Chain A
Amino acid sequence: MFKLWLIPLLPFLGFLINGIFGRKLPKLVINAVAIGSVVASFLWVALVVGPSTDWGEHKVQAHYFTWIQSGNFNVGWDFAVDKLTMIMLMIVTGIGSLIHIYATSYMDHEGGYYRFFAYLNLFMFFMLNLVLAANYLILFVGWEGVGLCSYLLIGFYFHKKSATNAGNKAFIVNRVGDFGFALAMFLVFINFGTLNFNGVFAAAPGKPVETLTAIALLMLVGAAGKSAQIPLYVWLPDAMEGPTPVSALIHAATMVTAGVYMCSRSSVIFLHAPAAMQVVALIGLATAVFAATIGITQYDIKKVFAYSTVSQLGYMFLGVGVGAFSAGIWHLMTHAFFKALLFLGAGSVIHACHGEQDMRQMGGLRKYAPWTCLVLACGSLAIAGFPGTSGFFSKDAILTAAYAHAPWMFWVGVVTAGMTAFYVWRAFWMTFWGDYRGHGKPHESSWVMLAPLMVLAVLSLAGGFLFNVPEMLKDMFPEHGEVPEEHMLMAISVAAGLIGIALSWYMYVVNTELSGKIANALGGVYRLVNDKYRVDEAYDAAIVEPIIHGSSAVLWKTIDQGVIDGAVNGIGARAQNVGGLLRRIQSGNIRSYATWVLAGSVVVIILMGIAGGVR
């Protein structure tokens, strides 16, 4: 009816064209195909599907074909659009279009140009599938598919071991999450007899709490993998090996928020599993604080923003966990604006500094790249929750809901907000203030890169009151305990942000010696945080190494080759002493044996044929 299939199919066609013929196509055509397909998809959403469904007010559902059918297990390739999907569609296609445009300039001098855009379009296809899905399995198609594209794009520079390592890590850690998601789906089917959202959510309130809790917790495992929450967040910082537009699109604005989307989509299940909700909130909060502390100590500009993303995703989970689903989605949207902006801005900075990512080699860039400086200031204000910016609204919505749920969560959230403001502005001052410390002469980026940045800057500043997500979604999620307009709470969180900004200004502009002194004073603690708490090392020592070593030394060399083959060969050797035939086989005279078997078989068959008298 609304040709929902067009939305993902357009980028998919772009993928096919660029993927198959891209090597021989001129850049202009590649750009036209890549950008055109995504923009067309955006326009279809914004101009046709949006208005005609009253922006998701009228739910639309479409069934295309039966995908898997076995017994009473029946999954169709079904799409549905409601208000939540509509918001996601706008974010994904809108931000996606901007990033595609930006990337044409950013990737201009890179090898594998066509390959990059083919992957990017493929990502759009899977991501749109994910948000359009009307059942869990189709959602899972998108879920795994975006993981594939993430893998391909993180490892885009496939000559580099670190890049392909990061790609593998991302995919495998996500697989751990998907393991949980898959088990959740098995339970859903066992208990509901269907994987369709409509059927499941209609029946969910009547199911036992234990069942729903188990399902919700397993879903959380999946969400924690995709959305980089403790303990599965470790892949996301490494994912920065990918080109910067990828970091912006996949590892900040869209894919990593899929876990938040999935939990919100499943809100009915979560709401009837209070224990699971509490776990979601706790994990979200813990991740938010934990990642923020790491962010404070990093010097690689992309790493700072990567940990910031992990931390902000934690915020969204906090929102979901305390029952403020719409606030979580609101933050998902505003975060998509300002984090895409921060990453793309970082890309512009990196370009300006000829590929440098270490902030200690930057500085003073406001003179060389004023526009980049301006837009990054907008993004940094937004993430710090400066009053009036988009981040202010969504963060405040989450924090007030957290206060209503448990005041201590609010306070931890406020401290995190302060840390967030501090490390983002620390990056800002280190990059743009002081004197240039790097090599070469920095330069401003092209207008093709700056234009999308400016659009995102406007959205980062104004997105909060332009799109009042809780208002849009107010009938989608049940009211979570009426939150009084608490101006005090708002003031506290704003103050935390301002203090963070001020402190960073003092430490990185006024008294630049101070940070070094503090780091020295903290000694081991500082190094531990700077080393990201050595979680990767711990995982390696506790999980990866034992598995690889055990598989090789114990399973393969001892059990397989020692015990089992030892037994088999032992039996063989014993038989050799007994049977003359076996001795002949093992003597190696294979041709004579082979001839013998063949001749024997043929004779037997012929004899039987004659004896039986074929009718």
Chain B
Amino acid sequence: MNLLDLVILIPAIGFLAALFIPRANEQFIRLFTLGVSLLTFVASLGLATGFDKNAAGQQFVTNFVWIQNPEIHYHVGIDGLSLWMVLLATFLTPIAILISWTSIEDRVKEFFALLLLLEFGLVGVFSAWDLFLFYVFWEIVLVPMYFLIGIWGHDRRIYAAVKFFLYTMAGSVLMLAAIIFLYTQAGTFDYVTVLDQLQSGRIALSHLQETLLFLAFFLAFAIKVPLFPLHTWLPDAHVEAPTAGSVMLASVMLKMGTYGLVRFCLPMFPVAARENSGWIVTLAIIGIIYGALVAMVQPNMKKLVAYSSVSHLGFVVLGVFSFTQVGLDGAVYQMLNHGISTGALFVIVGFLYGRKHSLLIADFGGVATAAPWLSIMFMITTFASIGLPTLNNFVGEFLILQGAAIRNFTWAAFASLGVILSACYMLWMYQRVFFGRAAGEPEPADDHGHGAHNDHAPVHTHAVHGGHDSHGHGMPDLSLREWACVLPLVMMMVWMGMYSQTFLPAVSAQDARILTTIEKGPQASNVNITPVSGGSAHAR
């Protein structure tokens, strides 16, 4: 039992315990689940501080046989790749709970309990080192998200939930088939062993077999990412999901796809990955531009952010399949960045929804006057999202594009168009939602619209004279609880943008190992991703 096991177990126990709390004690349920998620987060901080950046490979390993026949291990551990993914999940869960504090009034118990179940699944997905265990966690994640959308969603929630479920299931089934096939070859589900056998050539796959297996895994992950043209479940799911669902979906769940690509597709099937990289990158670049263009014309804020995610995750896939250290590091970093900044976008869009019960851009305007701090936080998030240097996304995007350019300059040139377009759709949305005047707010009498009066046109910047005034009806500024949700995210944007050295070295070290295995390809058994210790608990 090490710290990682605790981080996995606490939300699971919390989930079960929450089910036994009488449903009438709504406030207690909220506090309890918040407490559990905070405890999990604090515990996961120990993973970060205890993680040895210099020792590559798995740490905090627990490995024992869970099921004898077929041989399935409970094998968990984290390396430089999964460490920050786990932290991303534990960091965002308390925020997801906090933003749902008052907005969820129906079936409170189930809602908050499911968020803990979701956290359990997510942490598990990112720490599993047994293929079957990974699959179990992968599916566990699906369940609470399905319910979150289907029960607490908006009008078309059933359609969205089913679409989400079917899409993802279609991919998962293929992945399950591939996992079972690998089991028949290796005699175990243990990923380390399977990988070792693949790389040492003890499992000899024909070219066709490797390609098919690669595609099976790839498809499951590509749907989750989502990679163009498999993305149409995402906008529907986001629009219909409650805010917490959108946040967890965009911030953490999508990363399961890109994580899977880096963790499984690349090391296990390096040849197939290289051979197929051409069309995959093409789809990624199409996704970058396509997602951005479609985002630009969305009338609905959540849909806009959803399509922007398609664009941003296209960058991640591009980085992964650039097969360069710089590009891969950028891709992994961008997974975290996107989690933070898009999470924040959804959080604040949720705040706006709570105030006006609309997601349509056209229903807003002049929010900056009524709620200046909310507007400032959204502005910082907007600029993080469009890759302003000193904020987080820039570091990831730049590395990805640099890596892509090393590989093929044309890729970088086309993908960089996405950086221009992101400014278009985000700034245009910001302008329509936050600037101008609120609907129904009177034009000042002395603003006679004379073009020449640019400089001294009277401006009534109430924003400036102090928070709540007569124009603030229905649009109060951030409450204390909302500050608690949004400030940590904004602080992370600055931290990750200004000092990537906190996060990147661990990522880099692990990426370097993955790339070495790819370079060497099969038959190179001496270097692989074997754990530092094959046995049980191990830290440092």
- A179, A186, A243: most-surrounded residue (chain B CB, <10 A): A186
Kindly identify which residue among A111, A179, A356, A555 contacts B417, using a CB–CB cutoff of 8 Å. A179
Which residues in B have some Cβ–Cβ distance to A below 8 Å? 64-68, 72, 74, 136, 139-140, 143, 146-147, 150-151, 158, 161-163, 165-167, 229, 232-233, 290, 293-294, 296-298, 324-326, 329-330, 366, 368-369, 383, 388-390, 394-395, 398-399, 401-402, 405-406, 409, 412-413, 416-417, 419-420, 423-424, 427-428, 431, 434-437, 452-457, 459-466, 498-501, 504-505, 508, 512
- Main secondary structure on chain B at its contact with chain A? helix
Number of A-B contacts (CB under 8 A): 231
Chain B hits for A52, CB < 8 A: none
A354 interfacial by beta-carbon distance below 8 Å: yes
Given A113-B464, A141-B390, A302-B454, A160:B401 Cβ within 8 A: no
In chain A between 131 and 177, which residues have their CB closer than 8 angstroms to a CB of chain B? 137, 140-141, 144-145, 148, 151, 155, 157-165, 167-168, 171-172, 175-176
Q: Contacts A71-B326, A608-B72, A612-B65; is A158 near B435 (CB within 8 Å)?
A: yes
Q: Interface of A with B (CB < 8 Å)?
A: 23, 65-73, 110-115, 137, 140-141, 144-145, 148, 151, 155, 157-165, 167-168, 171-172, 175-176, 178-179, 182-183, 185-187, 189-190, 240-241, 243-244, 300, 302, 347, 350, 354-358, 361, 547-548, 550-552, 555-556, 560-561, 564-565, 568, 572, 582, 585-586, 588, 590-591, 594, 597-598, 601, 605, 608-609, 611-615
Checking A73, A160, A186 against B459 with a beta-carbon cut-off of 8 angstroms, the contacting residue is: A160
Residues of B within 8 A of A187 (CB): 405, 409
Chain A residue at minimal CB-CB distance from B453: A355
Contact indicator B459/A157 (Cβ below 8 Å):
yes
Closest beta carbon of chain A to B460's beta carbon, Å: 6
In the complex, what's the smallest C-beta–C-beta distance from A465 to chain B, in angstroms? Answer: 35
Residue of B with least CB distance to A582: B166
Q: A159-B460, A548-B296, A612-B68 given as contacts; is B398 within 8 A of A68 (CB)? A: yes
Q: Name the B residues within 8 Å of A357 (CB-CB).
A: 452-455
Once the chains are docked, how many angstroms separate the CA of A544 from the CA of B163? Answer: 34
The binding surface of chain A is classed by DSSP as helix
**Cβ contact within 8 Å between B453 and A586:** no
Closest-CB distance, B506 to chain A (whole angstroms)? 12
Return chain A residues, CB-CB under 8 Å to B67: 608, 611-612
- Is A597 a contact of B399 with CB atoms below 8 Å? no
CB-based contact B366/A159 at 8 Å: yes
Please give the distance in Å from A249's CB to the nearest CB on chain B: 15
The listed residue (B232, B297, B402) touching A552 by CB distance below 8 A is: B297
Please state if B501 and A65 are interface contacts (CB–CB under 8 Å): yes
Contacts of B165 in A (CB 8 A): 585
| Residue pair A241, B436 in contact (C-beta under 8 Å) | no
B325 nearest CB across to chain A (Å): 3
> Cβ of A185: which chain B residues have Cβ within 8 Å of it?
402
B35 CB, min distance to chain A CBs, angstroms = 24
Given A71-B508, A164-B431: A145 in contact with B329 (beta carbons within 8 A): no
Q: Could you say which residues of chain A place their CB within 8 Å of the CB of B457?
A: 157, 160, 355
- Chain A nearest Cβ from B140, distance in angstroms: 6
B435–A159 touching, CB < 8 Å: yes
| A137–B417 CA distance with the chains assembled, in angstroms | 19
Contact between A70 and B158 (Cβ–Cβ < 8 Å)?
Answer: no
Q: List, in ascending order, chain B residues with CB within 8 A of A69's CB.
A: 500-501, 504-505, 508
Residues A609 and B455 in contact, CB atoms below 8 Å apart: no
Is A111 a contact partner of B326 (Cβ separation < 8 A)?
no
Give Cα distance in the complex from A133 to B163, angstroms. 50
A40 to B453, CA, bound (A): 35
Contacts of B401 in A (CB 8 A): 182, 186
Could you list 5 examples of A-B contacts with CB < 8 Å? A137-B389, A144-B388, A160-B457, A172-B420, A612-B68
A163 to B453 CA separation, bound complex (whole angstroms): 12
Are A141's CB and B466's CB within 8 A? no
A residues near B455, Cβ cutoff 8 Å: 243-244, 302, 347, 350, 355, 357
12 further contact pairs, Cβ within 8 A, besides A69-B505, A244-B455: A65-B499, A67-B501, A68-B399, A71-B329, A115-B463, A137-B398, A140-B389, A148-B383, A159-B437, A175-B420, A547-B293, A614-B74
Q: With A111-B460, A160-B459, A182-B419 in contact, is A189–B150 under 8 Å at CB?
A: no
Asked if B150 and A590 make an inter-chain contact with CB atoms under 8 angstroms apart, the answer reads: yes
A99 to chain B, nearest CB (A): 15
